[in-house]
Amino acid sequence: MTLLHLSFFSAFTLSSLGLAFHRTHLISALLCLESIILSIYIALSIWPIQTQTSSPSILPILILTFSACEAGTGLALLVAST
Amino acid sequence: MEPALLLNTSMLLTLTILLSPMLLPLLSTKFTNSPTLITRTIKTSFLCSLTPMTLFMYLGTDSITSHWEWKFIQNFKIPLSFKVDQYSMMFFPIALFVTWAILQFATWYMATDPYITKFFSYLLMFLIAMLTLTIANNMFLLFIGWEGVGIMSFLLIGWWQGRAEANTAALQAVLYNRIGDIGLILSMAWLASTINSWELQQTPVTQTQTLPLLGLILAATGKSAQFGLHPWLPAAMEGPTPVSALLHSSTMVVAGIFLLIRTHPMFTNNQTALTLCLCLGALSTLFAATCALTQNDIKKIIAFSTSSQLGLMMVTIGLNLPQLAFLHISTHAFFKAMLFLCSGSIIHNLNGEQDIRKMGGLQNMLPTTTSCLTIGNLALMGTPFLAGFYSKDLIIECLNTSYLNTWALLLTLLATSFTATYTFRMTLLVQTGPIRMSSMTTPDENNPTITNPIIRLALGSVLAGLLITSYIPPSETPPMTMPTTTKTAAILITVLGAILALELSNMTHTMNQPKQNTYMNFSSTLGYFNPLTHRLFTTKLLNSGQKIASHLIDMSWYKKMGPEGLADLQLMATKTSTNLHNGLIKTYLGTFALSILIILLTQT
């Protein structure tokens, strides 16, 4: 596959494995979750440029919103469970 | 001499004389008011107002004058216009005569009051507002007079402001009047939006919608204490006796009926409104008469009697006979004011005793007062050829010979018999019988300030009916032929009520303890109306307010269904699913990693 695809794919896979394997600190798992979302975000931002369509341009904004909520929830859980 | 010019000039002169004690202190500091000065002003004004009355009697002159226009907005004319017609010309001398007598009496009654001049100025201001209401040709000026009498009533009922009951009664009066004012403003708004004028000459006559008429009836219910908005009138007896005599017997309470008389052309063709007036008046008169049967306070008995007569006036309006209602207003003013003045004389002479169970045998101690009390009571009952007879008997005759609601007829006839019963009861307990008061009281009525007004009003009570009916021709033909029973119905029923009263007073001479029964409980608690409405209605309203504002909005929507509700739901789900977890996090994360590796391996 192309270099672009490889970078996204590897970032996503490495973050997911990190989410599964970091068991000492919850915050490292949350950081991996953030990087999953980050890789998806960048992929979604590049995709309209690759396929020369402009309609999916709104998607990164939506993903950003959801990621913010999710990060907030995760941090609240972190704080509540200490 | 042109009669119209003489008419208008003398009317304006009457009003100016009345205004002078109010305005002259503002113009020069050397001018001081005093009670005797105000009494003399009213007397002069009365003599001056006889001119227009005699002009009307002999020449039949009417006039409408327009003096000034309030240029408020371009399309709506609000002139300051006076209507000098039969009603206002008859009302002026009568009101001024009664006020003159009351003010002369009040110089004795309120002699120990430190603010007596302020009292007299308040009474004068009230009178000016009432006469403005009478002479108004448009609804705006009438509304000014209407509000004026309402406010002066509030200030005068609460005259002894240290007394908590007086303050409550004044507040009650002003609140009930306000509810009536809503009706008046409704009709004014309807008139302004439909015919673009507030003049009484331009009101629609042929087919009036019921809505403005309902508003006017509501206004009359509030001001004239018909059933539904009536509790303020007995409570208004907390004010001094001159106030009760002037406001709450002859002048202010008839303002509602007067409004209906003035706007009568609108009512003529609307049978719904007329039937409503009829039934409301019949109910009020019977209710007030029932409540008066078991009252022990002399002023409250006379107050309920006033309320009953006001119901009778409303019945007359419902019969489409405004002129007869006005005749009853005129004759009623004389004997009702006299009854109040007699009761004031009795109260002061007995050192503040108002309970009729503690009076007795006053005929020998206060001969003039009690004779005039008897005359007043006989006139109230409609004794033939006294003042009350000419109006009351005619009303009952018209009732009997009209096509109307039978229930209204029955209630009115029953109320007439009750009138005889309670007046006889009052007379017997106050004037005759053994003396039930303390022997240290020294009643003394040798003061001409007391006796002259009462005797003048007694003369009026005897002659007024005859004079008015002789000189003012009726506008509708009264019923001329009817069966003998119908003709003598009023007298028969009155005599029946009187006999009942005599029998009952004989029964009270035995030493039995009175047992409680339903009817006496109903009558002495004024029909359970006061506690029902004053407590039930307000608690319901405040409860529903609390339910909506505090319970619904604050607690339900912000707590139960908003954020805290969401938290509660989550907590419920969590607590249920905690039991299902085994906590094998290593296995779960291992499966997750395995899935990722499989995805990794299956991608080329």
Q: Give tens-digit pLDDT for B300-359.
A: 999 999 999 999 999 999 999 999 999 999 999 999 999 999 999 999 999 888 998 888
- Give the C-alpha distances (Å, rounded to integers) separating B436 from B365, B425, B439, B583: 13, 15, 9, 96
Q: Does residue B144 surpass a pLDDT of 90?
A: yes
pLDDT (average), residues B155-163: 92
Query: Which chain B residue shows the shortest CA-CA distance from A29?
Result: B589
- Residue B121: closest CA among B64, B42, B38: B38
pLDDT tens per residue across span B103-118: 999 999 999 999 999 9
pLDDT mean for each 10 residues of chain A (82 residues): 86 92 91 95 92 92 95 94 84
For chain A, the residues whose C-beta falls within 8 A of a C-beta of chain B are: 1, 9, 13, 16-17, 19-21, 23
Per-residue confidence (pLDDT) for residue B60, from 0 to 100: 83
pLDDT tens per residue across span B61-108: 888 888 888 888 888 888 899 999 899 999 999 999 999 999 999 999
* Residue A12 backbone phi and psi in degrees, to 5: -60, -45
Query: How far apart, in whole angstroms, are the C-alpha atoms of residue B130 and residue B40?
Result: 19
- Partner residue opposite B600 with nearest CB, options A13, A19, A23: A13
Per-residue confidence (pLDDT) for residue B1, from 0 to 100: 67
Query: How far apart, in whole angstroms, are the C-alpha atoms of residue B490 and residue B397?
Result: 8
Query: How far apart, in whole angstroms, are the C-alpha atoms of residue B388 and residue B385?
Result: 8
Q: Residue B599: list chain A partners with CB under 8 A.
A: 13
pLDDT (average), residues B258-286: 93
Query: How far apart, in whole angstroms, are the C-alpha atoms of residue B324 and residue B469?
Result: 10
Query: Which chain A residue shows the shortest CA-CA distance from B587?
Result: A20
Per-residue confidence (pLDDT) for residue B497, from 0 to 100: 92
Query: What SS3 class is residue B83?
Result: strand
Query: Which chain B residue shows the shortest CA-CA distance from A14?
Result: B596
Q: Residue A16: list chain B partners with CB under 8 A.
A: 592-593, 596
* Residue B325 backbone phi and psi in degrees, to 5: -60, -40
Q: Residue A21: list chain B partners with CB under 8 A.
A: 589, 593
Q: Does residue B423 surpass a pLDDT of 90?
A: yes
* Residue B255 backbone phi and psi in degrees, to 5: -60, -35
Count of the separate structural domains present in chain A: 1
Identify from A8, A13, A22 which residue to disrupt to test chain B contact, counting B C-beta atoms within 10 A and taking the largest count: A13
Q: Does residue B512 surpass a pLDDT of 90?
A: no
pLDDT tens per residue across span B454-472: 999 999 999 999 999 998 8
Per-residue confidence (pLDDT) for residue B519, from 0 to 100: 84
pLDDT band at B420 (very low <50, low <70, confident <90, very high): very high
CB proximity list for B469: less than 8 A, separation 6 or greater? B327, B390
User: Out of B76-80, B336-340, B400-404, B580-584, which region has the weakest mean confidence (pLDDT)?
Assistant: B580-584
Q: Does residue B31 surpass a pLDDT of 90?
A: no
Q: Does residue B604 surpass a pLDDT of 80?
A: no
Q: Given an 8 Å threshold on Cβ–Cβ distance, is B596 in contact with A13?
A: yes
Tokens of B502: 């005599």
Distance of CA A55 to the CA centre of its chain: 21
Per-residue confidence (pLDDT) for residue B603, from 0 to 100: 78
Query: How far apart, in whole angstroms, are the C-alpha atoms of residue B359 and residue B347?
Result: 10
Range of the domain at A77: 1-81
Taking the CA of residue B580 and the nearest CA in chain A, the distance in Å comes to 19
pLDDT (average), residues B538-567: 85
Query: What SS3 class is residue B79?
Result: strand
CB B226 within 8 A of CB B284: yes
Per-residue confidence (pLDDT) for residue B531, from 0 to 100: 84
Q: Given an 8 Å threshold on Cβ–Cβ distance, is A1 in contact with B585?
A: no
Q: Given an 8 Å threshold on Cβ–Cβ distance, is A13 in contact with B585?
A: no
Query: How far apart, in whole angstroms, are the C-alpha atoms of residue B291 and residue B227?
Result: 12
- Partner residue opposite A20 with nearest CB, options B589, B600, B603: B589
Query: How far apart, in whole angstroms, are the C-alpha atoms of residue B328 and residue B390?
Result: 8
The torsion angle over the Cα atoms of residues A46, A49, A54 and A55, rounded to 10 degrees, is: -40
Per-residue confidence (pLDDT) for residue B515, from 0 to 100: 81
- Residue B361: closest CA among B440, B437, B445, B301: B437
Query: How far apart, in whole angstroms, are the C-alpha atoms of residue B476 and residue B324?
Result: 9
Per-residue confidence (pLDDT) for residue B568, from 0 to 100: 87
- Partner residue opposite B596 with nearest CB, options A1, A16, A23: A16
Q: Residue A17: list chain B partners with CB under 8 A.
A: 593, 596-597
Taking the CA of residue A61 and the nearest CA in chain B, the distance in Å comes to 26
pLDDT (average), residues B36-49: 94
Query: How far apart, in whole angstroms, are the C-alpha atoms of residue B193 and residue B191?
Result: 6
Query: How far apart, in whole angstroms, are the C-alpha atoms of residue B258 and residue B150?
Result: 15
Per-residue confidence (pLDDT) for residue A33, from 0 to 100: 94
Mean pLDDT of chain B: 90
Tell me whether B385 touches chain A (CB under 8 Å): no
In the beta sheet, which residues pair with residue B79?
B69
Query: How far apart, in whole angstroms, are the C-alpha atoms of residue B306 and residue B233?
Result: 9
Per-residue confidence (pLDDT) for residue B511, from 0 to 100: 65
Identify the CATH number of the domain in which residue A38 sits. 1.10.287.3510
